[in-house]
Amino acid sequence: MREQLKLLCASLAIVLLFSSCAKELEEYNKPAMYWYGKIIESISEGNIDKADNYYSSLQSEHVGSPLLPEATMILAISHMYYEEYILTEHYLDEYIKRYANYNEKEEAEFLKIKAKYMSLPNPRRDQVLIKEAIRASEKFKSEYPHSMYYSVVDTMLTNLYLSEASLNETVASLYDRIDKPKSAAYYRAKEAEPWIVWKDVDRAKTPWYREWFEGDGTASWYGFLIPDTRSVVSRNSVVDTNETEIGNR
């Protein structure tokens, strides 16, 4: 009886193995429209990862399919909807490099800027991304001065300038708190847009639930814990000559 049970279990395992293999084999060598339909179906169900896998099948099996450009753009927009902005840029770069004509490239470049902009809900956290978004916006305005998206990009760029200024002021405030006036002055001197009346710009309000942990940008409840040493000073800190001379004696 025990031997028969083992034989039955082994037979069942083999059947399951071959049935799963057969199911996997059914997902190969399909027409381009099949993969395209699967992409749309997966996105409509909210399974964006599965849609990515189907896109890989479409791209590998049908390199020259006219459905690829549209599928690429659909996935870019879908990832933006799900706030997956890095993947959004990946698909937009693919679209620009392989499929886009001049007008389509303009729209894709605009969407890339929008993705960068939307990925910055807390501008004091990512100085590099702010600079990248500013460069991309300035380049777009230069290359597409008559674009239908020009005013939208211009508005985003203005907000990015203000975000960068807010970040610089936050860094300057930190240097004020650790008694580094030259470094503070260096960051406050970075207001490079003369057309903005900086004295009339109000600091963005920090939500109360973030202010408990991050402070309001001018001070933090944990400020007394920060040691007054060079270990917390930025590499861009302006070194006081007098301090250096004293330290060398």
236 in any annotated domain: no
224 with 158, same domain: the answer is: yes
SS3 content of the chain, % helix, strand, coil (to 5): 70, 0, 30
5 in any annotated domain: no
Q: What CATH number should be reported for the domain holding residue 46?
A: 1.25.40
Nearest to 112 by CA among 86, 138, 131, 74: 86
pLDDT tens over the chain, length 249 residues: 556 555 545 555 554 554 444 444 357 789 999 999 999 999 999 999 999 999 999 999 998 899 999 999 999 999 999 999 999 999 999 999 999 998 899 999 999 999 999 988 765 567 888 899 999 999 999 999 999 999 999 999 998 988 888 777 777 877 887 788 888 888 777 766 676 676 666 666 666 555 555 555 555 555 555 555 554 444 455 555 554 444 445
The pLDDT score that the predictor gives to residue 234 is 47
* SS3 state at 86: helix
7 in any annotated domain: no
Give the contacts of 66 (CB within 8 A, at least 6 positions apart): none
132 with 89, same domain: the answer is: no
Find the domain containing 90 and state its range: 28-100
92 with 151, same domain: the answer is: no
171 with 124, same domain: the answer is: yes
- When divided into structural domains, the chain yields a total of 2
d(CA 85, CA 124): 18
pTM over 0.85? The answer is: no
Nearest to 133 by CA among 95, 163, 101, 168: 163
